[in-house]
Structures are given as C-alpha cells and as structure tokens.
Amino acid sequence: MMPNLQDHDTFYRTFNWQKERDKLAGLPNGKGLNIAFEAVERHAGGPLNDTVALRWLRKDKSVEEVTYSDLQKRTSQFANVLEHLGVAKGNTVFSFAGRIPELYIVALGTLKKTAVFCPLFSVFGPEPVWQRLSRGNAKVLVTTTALFNKTVQQILDRLPSLQYILLTDTETNLSERVLSLPGLMKNASDQFTIPPTDPETPALLHFTSGTTGMPKGALHVHQAILTHYATGKYVLDFHPGDIFWCTADPGWVTGTSYGIIAPLVNGVTNIVDEEEFDAARWYSILEKQKVNVWYTAPTAIRRLMRMDIRPREQYDLKNLRLMLSVGEPLHADAVVWCQKTFEVPVLDNWWQTETGGIMIANFASLPVKPGSMGKPLPGVEATIAEVSETGIQIITEAGKQGNLVLKKGFPSMFRAYLNDEERYNKCFRGDWYITGDLAKKDADGYFWFVGRADDIIKTSGHMVGPFEVESTLTQHPAVAEAAVIGKPDPNIGELVKAFVVLKNGNAANDDLKLDIIAFARKKMGPAVAPKELSFVENLPKTKSGKILRRLLKARELGLPEGDLSTLEQG
C-alpha cells in the first residue's frame, strides 16, 4: 500500500495548514471549528455512518461496537446532559475511569458542548486525583461506582467547586450531587447542535507525566484537530478501512490525541482494550482484530522483548502494516528487534503533552535510521539551538547537540499552563518554544534524542546524555533495561552511575557488573561509560511508564523523594 506521504522533503517544503483545514468540514455556515464535529458528526452524516468507530474489548474479551452514527447520538445525549446540569462553555469536565465506552462518549460530548475535557488515569490514588481536580477547577466528574467509593468520596469535602459527580454504572442517584449517568442519558435527547466554536476555544486540559517534577496542566484549543488529522494521515498513515490500536490510556495525552481523536477524525476503526498489558492478550488482539496500524510505547516494547514469544510463528499478524512508538527513546536495538519480529516498519516519533500531537517522526516512506526519532512533521519547524535568557542561537552544524526548539504556529501548540503564566512565558523566546529536551540533527535532517536538559550529566568536562549511555548498556546481551544518572563527585563534577535490570536467567554478580562496565567502556570510551553500576529488580517509573531518573537520583543521594511518592505512586 502506498503511504499517504510519499516524499517527505518535497511535501515539507510545500505544506501549509490551510490546505489541511480545507479537507475538514468546519461547522455548518462558517460557525468555526470543533473537534467533535470533525471526529464524529462529519462521518455520521456521510458514507461512514455505519462504520465502526470504536470497537471495545471488555476484560472478558467480549466486544461492544459503536458506529459513527451511534457515537453521534450518544455524544449528543451527553452534551444535553451537560446542558441540563448548567455546564457552560469553558467549564471543565473530568473523567476518572478505565477504558470504558463512557469515557469516549464523555470526551466527545464535552467537546460538543464547548466545555473543556480533562481525563485522569484510573490508577491514581486520592491525592493525585484531588490535586488535578482542584487545580483544574472541575465542575463535573464522571467516574465509576468502584472508583467513587475507593478514591473520590474521601476527597469530596475538599472540592467545593465540583458540582456534580456522575456515576457510569448505577441507575439511582446517591444524592443531589452524586447522580446516575445512565439515568441522565435516558432522559436526554440524542439531537444536539454544536454551538459556534472559534478555533481558539479551549478544548482539552492534559496533565504532563511528571517525569521531571510536579505535573503541569497544558491547555489545548479546538484548532488542535488539524494536527490530529494531519499526523493521523501522514504519520500513522491511515487509509480507509484501517483498524487502529493505540495502547496508551486516555489519561495521558497520547491516549486522547491518538486513542480518541486522530483515528476518528480520519474515519478509521479504533480498537479500545479495557485490560492492562498482557503479552499473549496483546498478540491475540493484533491477530483477531486484524490490526493494521499499532501505536505503542518503548516500555511495552521492552516488556515484549523480555518474553520468549515468537509472535510471527504463533500468531497470524499479516494485517499489521505499521508499528509506531512514542513516550521515551526507542533504542536502536528495540527498533531492530521490532523490525525482525513483526516484519513491518517501526516508526519512533517524538512529541510532548505541550505540543498536543506528533512533531518529529519517522515516516513510512523514509528510510528508518534506528535510534533516530526522524524528521519534523510538515507544518512544524524544529531546530537545534543554544538558548539564553533572552533569545536563541540556531546551531547549523550537523551533529552538534543543543536544545530542541519548535517554532510557534502549528495548531496544537498548548496555549497555557494551568494557573502558571510565568512558567508558560519562560518556555518561549520570541516565536520559539523551548521543549526542555536536548537533541542533535544529522546532515540528512534526522533528529536524534540526547536527553532531557535537566538530566544531562556533566562529567570530566563532557556533557553526557543518559540516553546514549542507556542505549549502549541495553546492547549488552544480559541487560534488559538501564537508567543512568549523574552523581555529584568532587573530582569530576558528576560521575555516571547506571542502574541495570537484567534479563531473566542472568545472575547479578560482580563479574557480570565488571563485564557490563567493560562493554560500555569499549563502546563509549572511559570518560562517558558508567563508573558505578547497581543491579535493580525494576526501574522506578511514572504511571505512564517513563523512567524516573530524578527518583533514582534522590534515592542515591539520600534526598527527600518530594511530592513524587504521593503523586505518581499514590
């Protein structure tokens, strides 16, 4: 099948966002641009009416299908529920639930109503939920009875502006504040006219993963749909009739931008799996659901790599055409493993909560350089620069490391950090947004991730990105996963310290430790290779599966772990 984008560099030169806008409908009579209209109404009113929009796989493997036409009706009902409850434009509606159909209906119904949708990951404990609801000034929360009892009830007193809690799975109202969602839906009309929506209307509030500190709330507007549409088409390479599966939970930006919006706006069928990671279940989903395009994350790929399953031999994966990864660096060894194991291209791509959608990517039509995150999306200007207090200096020399910066002007750029204008302003130098990541650009225009600016290690006059050390360590046959930090050292500034998880069947002893260090020294040179190495059972990770280097560092130095333990592991 021919990729939608066949010649990246030419398309990049001629691209403009208006052309993508022209491919969408816009609200009737020029009344603006609304994400839910493009993702749902447009298809429900056209030839995709009966196409399955969401195919939901329950824990027990039974299946519920929702067509575009069903989705239109149910999201309209929910928009009417919000209307009935007095929710106004710009109010925030939160969801706190596992991957159940209501979550998807609530998200899109909220957007129809021009309220702001904010998803919360269902494994959060009471503190992280409270933090986010109060900071986001939640007016309505949709959750399940189980999560209400376990987590929400105990923080209700501390949430005076939260007017309504809607329970997805009960027929009766518990109080004037805690209501039955099915009861409200039953009485709501399935006809709803989306109000005029200026493209700059706030639509989505997403909290970052909290890898480098307290999670930040990033606010996005309806216009972001253009990025979701274009990346769905040119990076995920959606074709009519495709079956798509994004394994990210909508509690994170990937699970909303690509687990809800991008597949729907492109009119494909979106698989939603209620269950958590399980290798055998995942492979059988790829087979039975005939998945064509699969978007997942390095943490999941690493788990698959650790298992002794040969998917191509045990499962029929002939429908799989493309595999993509985001969230953390996908080391070259993992790219090679995926290509060998699945016999399809695996496309690493880079973006952040703040950018709302994919910014730098490998493309189906471009050769993949394993370990590189690819080239900028057409319509996005990315470059490497030195950053000072007042401005930036673009680095033109190929291969030189610097800050990864993006030029303002693409539709899905965040418009604010919640209640933190100062921090927002600090991210910009004129039109340039400072991503906080370090990277390099090679002579062919491919970008290579170096690390987060905060994580960079200064050792004996060298600047070392943890990622390059980690990707070398994982090439050692005994190493499953690695994380690297800088540990203050009076002689050399910081010394490179590695934490290593071994593959099953390897004994953690001093010989192996020396062998791994020697392996790294040989590959990287003694200045950059780890001087210390500890074996660990697991690496600490955020709820979304990212390595928490700051926690490793705090533990190593005996510093307080800060708000982290309550926030991300609560």
Residues of span 421-440 touching ligand ATP by CB under 6 A? 435, 437
Angle at 260 between CA 19 and CA 548, to 5 degrees: 110
> d(Cα 38, Cα 229) in Å, to the nearest integer?
9
329 binds, among Mg ion, ligand ATP, none (CB under 5 to 8 A by kind): ligand ATP
Partner whose binding site includes residue 327, from Mg ion, ligand ATP, none (CB under 5 to 8 Å by kind): ligand ATP
Which run of H or E residues covers position 449? strand 447-452
Q: Build a one-symbol-per-residue string for 359-388: x at contacts with ligand ATP by CB under 6 A, - elsewhere.
A: --------------x---------------
Sorted by sequence, the CB contacts under 8 Å of residue 103 that are 6+ apart come out as 95, 97, 119, 142, 250
Supply the minimum distance, in Å, between the C-beta of residue 451 and ligand ATP: 8
Q: Say which residues have a Cβ less than 8 Å from residue 379's Cβ, sequence separation at least 6.
A: 15, 16, 17, 20, 227, 230, 410
How far apart CA 535 and CA 558 sit, in angstroms, is 18
State the Cα–Cα distance between residues 247 and 229, nearest whole angstrom: 19
Minimum gap (Å) between residue 560 Cβ and ligand ATP: 18
569 binding ligand ATP? (CB under 6 A): no
Binding-residue total with Mg ion (CB under 5 A): 1
Residue with Cβ nearer ligand ATP (375 or 546): 546
Contacts with ligand ATP by CB under 6 A: the residue count is: 23
204-233 residues near Mg ion, rule: CB under 5 A: 208
Tokens of 295: 């978007």
Query: For 427-490, where are the alpha helices, taking DSSP H only?
Result: 466-473
208 binds ligand ATP (CB under 6 A): yes
Q: How far is the CB of 256 from ligand ATP (least distance, A)?
A: 12
Cα(399)–Cα(442) distance, integer angstroms: 5
**In whole angstroms, how close is the CB of 270 to ligand ATP at the nearest point?**
21
Per CB under 6 A, the segment of 5-13, 151-159, 342-350, 507-515 that binds ligand ATP is 342-350
- Using CB under 6 A, pick the residue from 222, 233, 546, 549 that binds ligand ATP: 546
Contact (CB, 8 A) for 471 and 547: no
Per rule CB under 6 A, is residue 215 in the interface with ligand ATP?
A: yes
- Binder of residue 256, out of Mg ion, ligand ATP, none (CB less than 5 to 8 A by kind): none
Could you say which of 350, 410, 447, 499 contacts ligand ATP (CB under 6 A)? 350
State which residue has the least CB distance to Mg ion. Answer: 208
Strand partners, 386: 393
Site residues for Mg ion, window 180-209 (CB under 5 A)? 208
CA-based nearest residue to 347, from 356, 20, 365, 154: 365
Residue 535 burial (C-beta neighbours within 10 Å; 0-12, 13-18, 19+)? middle
DSSP state of 152: I
Select 151 or 256, whichever has its Cβ closest to Mg ion: 256
Residues sharing a CB contact under 8 Å with residue 374, sequence separation 6 or more, in sequence order? 347, 348, 349, 350, 360, 361, 362, 363, 366, 368, 446, 447
Site for ligand ATP in 298-337 (CB under 6 A): 326-329
Residue 252 beta carbon to ligand ATP: minimum distance, rounded to whole angstroms: 6
267 vs 298 by CB, closer to ligand ATP = 298
Contact flag: residue 352 with ligand ATP (CB under 6 A): yes
Does 540 participate in binding ligand ATP (rule CB under 6 A)?
Answer: no
Q: CB of residue 354 vs ligand ATP: minimum separation in angstroms?
A: 6
Residue in 119, 199, 210, 263 binding ligand ATP, rule: CB under 6 A: 210
User: Which of helix, strand or coil describes residue 1?
Assistant: coil
Of the candidate spans 7-15, 154-162, 275-283, 344-352, the one that interacts with ligand ATP by CB under 6 A turns out to be 344-352
Q: HSE of 440 in the Cβ direction (CA atoms, 13 Å)?
A: 16
Decide whether 74 or 543 has the Cβ nearer to ligand ATP.
Answer: 543
CB neighbour class for 172 (10 Å; exposed up to 12, middle 13-18, buried from 19)? exposed
Helix, strand and coil content of the chain, in percent to the nearest 5, comes to: 35, 25, 40
* Contact of residue 260 among Mg ion, ligand ATP, none (CB under 5-8 Å per partner type): none
In the complex, which residues of this chain contact ligand ATP (CB under 6 A)? 208-213, 215-216, 326-329, 348-350, 352-353, 373, 435, 437, 449, 452, 546
In the complex, which residues of this chain contact Mg ion (CB under 5 A)? 208
